[in-house]
């Protein structure tokens, strides 16, 4: 599927949409495994891999790949995966990316839809530090990704939905370093994503 607003499933009931936001720099198999498992576990119609416009939490720490390049990689990653779509709402909105704003925009596009905001356990533990976290809680179900091992302590005033996914020790930071030093990326990044990276000349000095 192409990037942009997802197409609702043909149903008389409100669609069930998962929102899985991230920098996706680059998107890897861990992102796909997470999205596919949540889609299946919760019976969602679609999971939107929403590409951050400005990853303001990471600004200054390293150079972030331009949003349009990251979007192109996500489009390539999900193109042949049923139920997964790339999202560009935050890019079109411009400026810093906040989940509350994204949910508000999606609610306008999909009145009556049921939203599920998908977050990792570390992000979930710090949810109350998010900008307008109360709006996120009020307008969506909070889904936390559980991986085998020690569970994280979560705010107990939120009705969390836990979905267990396989523990894959894959990180975008490590992948950027692999691009830099020539180590293999087989089975860590899909071939369509690798094609985009090569075509656009991304990650030439990925060890910063």
pTM of the model: 0.88
CA–CA distances in Å: residue 139 to residues 65, 123, 161: 30, 18, 14
* Other CB atoms within 10 Å distance of the CB of residue 203: 19
Q: What is the pLDDT along the chain (208 residues), one digit of tens a residue?
A: 444 555 554 444 569 999 999 999 999 999 999 999 999 999 999 999 999 998 655 555 568 899 999 999 999 999 999 999 999 999 999 988 899 999 999 999 888 999 999 998 888 888 888 999 999 999 999 999 987 766 778 888 899 999 988 878 788 888 988 888 888 888 899 999 999 999 999 987 544 4
Q: Which two tokens stand for residue 189?
A: 């990044």
> What are the residue ranges spanned by the domains of the chain?
16-170
**φ/ψ of residue 87, rounded to 5:** -115, 135
3-state helix, strand, coil in the chain (%, to 5): 35, 20, 45
CA–CA distances in Å: residue 49 to residues 2, 36, 57, 161, 183: 12, 11, 18, 19, 27
Q: Which two tokens stand for residue 152?
A: 């994280």
Closest CA to 48 of 141, 132, 118: 118
Query: Residues 154, 133: contact at Cβ < 8 Å?
Result: no
Residue with tokens 């935050």: 90
CATH 1.10.10.10 at 16-170, yes or no:
no
């Amino acid at each position: 599927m192409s990037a942009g607003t997802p197409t609702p499933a043909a149903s008389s009931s409100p669609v069930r949409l998962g929102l899985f936001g991230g920098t996706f720099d680059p998107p890897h198999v861990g992102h796909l495994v997470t999205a596919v498992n949540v889609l299946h576990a919760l019976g969602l119609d679609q999971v939107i891999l929403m590409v951050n416009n400005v990853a303001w939490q990471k600004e200054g720490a390293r150079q972030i790949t331009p949003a349009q390049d990251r979007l192109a990689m996500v489009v390539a990653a999900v193109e042949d995966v049923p139920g997964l779509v790339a999202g560009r709402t935050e890019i079109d909105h411009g400026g810093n990316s906040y989940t509350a704003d994204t949910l508000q925009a999606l609610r306008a596009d999909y009145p009556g839809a049921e939203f599920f905001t998908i977050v990792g356990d570390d992000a979930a533990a710090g949810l109350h530090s998010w900008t307008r976290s109360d709006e996120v809680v009020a307008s969506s179900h909070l889904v936390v990704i559980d991986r085998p091992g020690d569970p994280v302590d979560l705010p107990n005033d939120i009705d969390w939905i836990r979905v267990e996914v396989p523990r894959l020790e894959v990180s975008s930071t490590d992948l950027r370093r692999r691009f830099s030093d020539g180590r293999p990326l087989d089975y860590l990044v899909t071939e369509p994503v690798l094609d985009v990276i090569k075509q656009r000349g991304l990650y030439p000095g990925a060890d910063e």
